[in-house]
Homo-oligomer: A and B are copies of this chain.
């Protein structure tokens, strides 16, 4: 497999994440995601098309082809393994690791990642509950649903969090919610969609719909 620049890898990864929800991606959304100009995106699209990582016709949107997806999965794999390392081995809070993994994911040694994965015990999910692709790009799946649609009085366990900004993660920490936390939804307020929830050894509390929409869970046992 060829080597790509840090910049190329960042674009490829962003396209990968965007095309999961929308199939074909457009210039402006990528520019927004990357916090850069639309012109810069167009420049990079030409480069990635030349390198045969992208399906792209001008003005028509674009998407990664199979090669591009493989590259993206490799970067995602590295990113999430490093995040796991930072939290589980170095004791970082889970809301601090993203920017550091954003740099570490570009270290090029394959041997390093092979050994890192083994050292970490081949984890399947990163500290945010996101799946870690294996060496072949295969992603583990679990049946999860959004906390906002969980029926009352069912015990569920938090398996991932969609919005991973420090702001969101800070908030969840305040509620004592993390990956693996067991939750029972005790009330649902129709007025604003907020939820009353109960966490073991914590007083009941109210979550806004906005928060609940970003928390994903699976049913217990």
For the complex, is A189 an interface residue (Cβ under 8 Å from B)?
Answer: no
Mostly, the A contact residues are: helix
Copies of the protein in its oligomer: 2
For the complex, is A36 an interface residue (Cβ under 8 Å from B)?
Answer: no
Are B107 and A90 interface neighbours, CB within 8 A? Answer: no
Cβ distance A89 to chain B, nearest Cβ, rounded Å: 6
For the complex, is A108 an interface residue (Cβ under 8 Å from B)?
Answer: yes
- The interface on chain A, measured as residues whose beta carbon lies within 8 A of the other chain's beta carbons, has a size of 18
Residues of chain B within 8 A of A89, CB atoms compared: 119
Are A109 and B119 interface neighbours, CB within 8 A? Answer: no
Chain B residue at minimum C-beta to C-beta distance from A90: B115
- What's the Cα separation between A116 and B91 when bound, in Å? 10
- What's the Cα separation between A92 and B110 when bound, in Å? 13
- What's the Cα separation between A164 and B210 when bound, in Å? 56
Interface residues in A71-93 by Cβ distance below 8 A to B read 86, 89-92
Are B92 and A103 interface neighbours, CB within 8 A? Answer: no
For the complex, is A34 an interface residue (Cβ under 8 Å from B)?
Answer: no
Cβ distance A151 to chain B, nearest Cβ, rounded Å: 42
From B91, B103, B107, A115 is in contact (CB under 8 Å) with B91
Are A107 and B116 interface neighbours, CB within 8 A? Answer: no
For the complex, is A152 an interface residue (Cβ under 8 Å from B)?
Answer: no
Knowing A89-B119, A119-B89 touch, does A107 contact B100 (C-beta < 8 A)? yes
For the complex, is A112 an interface residue (Cβ under 8 Å from B)?
Answer: yes
Chain B residue at minimum C-beta to C-beta distance from A104: B107
Residues of chain B within 8 A of A100, CB atoms compared: 107, 109, 112
Residues of chain B within 8 A of A92, CB atoms compared: 111, 115
The 0/1 profile, CB within 8 Å of B marked 1, for residues 89-101 of chain A is: 1111000100110
Q: Hey, which bits of chain A sit against chain B, CB under 8 A?
A: 86, 89-92, 96, 99-100, 103-104, 107-109, 111-112, 115-116, 119
Q: What are 20 A-B pairs at a CB distance below 8 A? A: A86-B112, A89-B119, A90-B112, A90-B115, A90-B116, A90-B119, A91-B115, A91-B119, A92-B111, A92-B115, A96-B111, A99-B109, A100-B107, A100-B109, A100-B112, A103-B107, A103-B108, A103-B109, A104-B104, A104-B107
